[in-house]
Amino acid sequence: GAGVSQTPSNKVTEKGKYVELRCDPISGHTALYWYRQSLGQGPEFLIYFQGTGAADDSGLPNDRFFAVRPEGSVSTLKIQRTERGDSAVYLCASSLTVGNTEAFFGQGTRLTVV
């Protein structure tokens, strides 16, 4: 595709449920990033992948959050036992490589936990 695609664009879930958020990066981009943006805040780093492996997952808030990128392209962010505090916009970005290259962002998935 032409840009980074995230699905769904909106997700409402009940507290305690499991959710998956999907990111399709720009074709050929080896680096993929997840960020979380709470209301009135800037995006906060969660994790990034170089290829299939998570190069840095230091931003994941706790063990309820997990992300995979099994074939080095599409990535899924998984949240178990969702809590109301998980409500935010989850942003995905990709870049050609990690290094001196621009990161392109998707429009995000707005997650609401009720």
Partner 1 sequence: GDSVTQMEGPVTLSEEAFLTINCTYTATGYPSLFWYVQYPGEGLQLLLKATKADDKGSNKGFEATYRKETTSFHLEKGSVQVSDSAVYFCALTPTQGGSEKLVFGKGTKLTVNP
Residue type, 11: K
Which of 23, 82 has the CB closer to partner 1? Answer: 23
**Gap between the Cα atoms of 20 and 85, Å rounded:** 16
Residues 65-94 that bind partner 1 (CB under 8 A): 91, 93
The answer to whether the peptide bond before residue 70 is cis (omega within 30 degrees of 0) is: no
Of the candidates 19, 21, 35, 90, which one interacts with partner 1 according to CB under 8 A?
A: 35
Provide the 3-class DSSP secondary structure of residue 79: strand
Distance of alpha carbon 13 from alpha carbon 64, whole angstroms:
15
Q: Which position among 7, 10, 41, 80 is part of the footprint of partner 1 (CB under 8 A)?
A: 41
Number of residues that bind partner 1 (CB under 8 A): 29
Which residues here bind partner 1, judged by CB under 8 A?
A: 3-4, 31, 33, 35, 40-45, 48, 55-56, 59, 91, 93, 95, 98-108
